[in-house]
Amino acid sequence: MRDKLTWTNNELESLLRQLDIALEASGIGIWQHNLHKNQTRWDHQLQIIYGIKKELDDVIWLESVHPEDRDYASSVFQRAINARSDYAAQFRIIRPDGETRYLRSRAKYFVDEQGEGCFIGAEWDVTDDILRSEQLAREREAAEASRAVAKFAADHDYLTGLLNRRAFDEKFAEFQSTVDAASLCHLDLDHFKEINDRFGHSGGDAVLRYVGDILAKATRDGEHAARLGGDEFAVLSPFGLSRMQDLVSAIRRELDKPVTLNGESYLAECSIGFACAQGQEIGALLKASDVALYEAKKLGRNNAQLFTPELAQRLAKEKQTLKDLQTALRANEIVPHYQVQIDAKTGEICGLEALARWETADGVRPPSEFLDLASAHGLMEAVDEAILTRVLLDIKRWTLLDIDVPRVSVNLSAARLSDASLPKRLEAMAAPPKSLSFELIETIFLDKVSDQIKQNIRMIRDLGILIELDDLGSGHASLLGLLELRPERVKIDRHLVAPILDHAPQKQLVGSLIDIAHALDIEVVAEGVETMAHAVMLTDLGADILQGFAFARAEPAHQITARLVASLRGDRADTKQRAAAPAAG
């Protein structure tokens, strides 16, 4: 029996040694607390963890716990005592050397052989795990913040902070499936190139930021403002027409407040097109607002236009007209019709003005149907080229018929006049000297005449082509401008000529314009002469050349040929009779 007991004690001691080794290797410290005696025993490993020696009656645990964790650790242990239940906690301690460590503590409640309640527990240092977890959390947070920054950068315009085009398109696609109604406004800055030219790109950027701020402040929750690119902006709203009208009005009110650029006060202007839709029609909002924006620009910019079906129909018709015009230019359907110009003293034909007409199988389309459209879409140079080419062909044909061809006036757009290649192209066309004159519209004086235009005018004159100024008196030209350009002819605006019979101040104004032109040795053409009474009064005022319905409407080349042939025959009376009689139709 003794041998068996000895063996058991030996075995137990071996197991205890093994347990000590295992606990030491694991770094786990063991403690036991007797509730009745209020005594706590720490093993050697736990004393190492805390960095202090612990006697049985020492009460030092809470003194080692970090002050910020002390209430928590105490309350958790007290709850376990009150409930006679298991205990689990994690807290920080401050070792005597000042180092802070994280401990995890677990304990079981039991009743010992004396019937006294006790806790036996284990604690181990989890500082490395906690710090590693905190580092990982910080890294995750930084990564999430970095992703958020990257996503914001990917979704937003770097300059204004508004949504960019890609993100706006995503919102627009989302709207189509999530809202029952929506509205959208499209904005374009007017004359943005001029802003960059005048204030530099930094000034242009300042205006873009200024508009971006206005849109950001004007939008409500659920609305999305975006810079679509360049000077183009948009606002998408889940609300209807009333809200969009209020939004557009608010934007325009803010735009009426000037922005300071390089120390100067500048008023930014925008053209705005807006539209509203419901259900499946929301998908067409972008196109609809763009159509309305086009109309706003066409009406002079710095205004807002609402899309309507009637507007869409009209613009669709214009689009078709533009397409047909492009085809007509390729098919040589844009041709000159000629209006005679009459010498005020002799009553004879002394010139022709070539006016653009569009000849179709269904008849002749007047310039009001296509010239403004051509100008708006950059086709005026092609129209000018078509007319000039045909005029030169007509002049050659008339010359072959031994007709004494009067000088033909041809309109020339400002864009074409500023083309550096124009003189060489004219030289290649071999226009007979003194057979042509180019009419320049008076709005050329809206801007300072460029050196390129001045050079082109000199080279054009060297080719024997004269220069005329159209619509004198419409308000743009100055005397200094006339002195600088020195045209061979000026044409008095028809709107000044029409009322001279009944309006004395208008008559005096026309007379003064004629006197000024003559003082500068410039010949005067009066257009819009609708009656012979006009012709007589204008002759008395000193006009050199008369042009208008009183003599003839613009006629195709074959009809003008008949007039010129009559002049060639020397039939003066017949010529005057033909000149004085309006053409049929």
pLDDT tens track for 26-48: 689 999 999 988 899 999 899 99
What Cα–Cα distance (Å) separates residue 79 from each residue in 75, 87, 88, 268, 459?
6, 8, 11, 71, 105
Give the model's pLDDT for residue 583. Answer: 42
DSSP-derived secondary structure for 7-40 = HHHHHHHHHHHHHHHHHHHHT-EEEEEETTTTEE
More confident residue, 172 or 415: 172
Beta-bridge partners for 82? none
Pairing of strands 436-441, 363-365: unpaired
pTM of the model: 0.59
The residues, any chain, with a CB within 8 Å of residue 110's CB and separated by 6 or more, are 117, 118, 119, 120
Distance of CA 521 to the CA centre of its chain: 49
Pairing of strands 39-42, 489-492: unpaired
- Residue 551: name the closest of 348, 369, 296, 379 by CA: 348
The Cα 474–Cα 470 span in angstroms is: 9
The Cα 566–Cα 564 span in angstroms is: 5
Find the angle CA(299)-CA(304)-CA(308) to the nearest 5 degrees.
Answer: 85
The Cα 198–Cα 205 span in angstroms is: 13
The Cα 524–Cα 501 span in angstroms is: 19
Mean pLDDT computed over 11-26: 59
Give the model's pLDDT for residue 254. Answer: 93
Residue 480 has pLDDT above 80, yes or no: no
pLDDT tier at 473, thresholds 50, 70, 90: low
Token code pair at residue 129: 């795990």
pLDDT tier at 339, thresholds 50, 70, 90: very high
pLDDT tier at 298, thresholds 50, 70, 90: confident
Q: Which of 72-81, 165-174, 278-287, 339-348 has the lowest mean pLDDT?
A: 278-287
Residue 565 has pLDDT above 90, yes or no: no
- Reduce the DSSP state of residue 233 to 3 states and report it: strand
| Whether 112 contacts 101, CB under 8 Å | no
| Whether 351 contacts 524, CB under 8 Å | no
Residue 533 has pLDDT above 90, yes or no: yes
- Reduce the DSSP state of residue 173 to 3 states and report it: helix
What Cα–Cα distance (Å) separates residue 31 from each residue in 39, 116, 130, 192, 374?
10, 16, 23, 80, 97
Residue 313 has pLDDT above 80, yes or no: yes
Q: Which of 32-41, 250-259, 332-341, 435-444 has the lowest mean pLDDT?
A: 435-444
Give the model's pLDDT for residue 575. Answer: 40
Query: DSSP alpha helices (H): ranges in 158-308?
Result: 165-178, 192-218, 241-255, 285-298
The Cα 64–Cα 191 span in angstroms is: 74
pLDDT tier at 532, thresholds 50, 70, 90: very high
The Cα 195–Cα 188 span in angstroms is: 13
The helix or strand, by DSSP H or E, that contains position 136, with its residue range, turns out to be: helix 127-155
Residue 578 has pLDDT above 60, yes or no: no
Give the model's pLDDT for residue 456. Answer: 87
Mean pLDDT computed over 455-473: 86
Q: What is the mean pLDDT of the chain?
A: 86
The Cα 72–Cα 90 span in angstroms is: 9
CB atoms closer than 10 angstroms to residue 430: 9
CB atoms closer than 10 angstroms to residue 143: 10
Token code pair at residue 107: 């304990």
Beta-bridge partners for 233? 187, 227
Token code pair at residue 394: 């007509």
Highest mean pLDDT among 149-158, 283-292, 472-481, 538-547: 538-547
Residue found under tokens 């500023």: 418
Mean pLDDT computed over 532-560: 93
Give the model's pLDDT for residue 17. Answer: 60
As a 3-state breakdown, the chain gives helix, strand, coil percent values, each rounded to 5, of: 50, 25, 25
The 304-306 sheet, strands edge to edge: 224-229, 232-237, 181-189, 270-278, 304-306
Give the model's pLDDT for residue 2. Answer: 52
The Cα 93–Cα 130 span in angstroms is: 14
Residue 478 has pLDDT above 60, yes or no: no
Cα dihedral value 530, 531, 535, 536, nearest 10: -160
The Cα 561–Cα 388 span in angstroms is: 17
The type of residue at 336 is: P
Residue 582 has pLDDT above 80, yes or no: no
pLDDT tens per residue, range 380-412: 889 999 999 999 999 999 989 888 889 999 988
| Whether 47 contacts 53, CB under 8 Å | yes
Pairing of strands 334-343, 349-360: antiparallel
Give the model's pLDDT for residue 376. Answer: 78
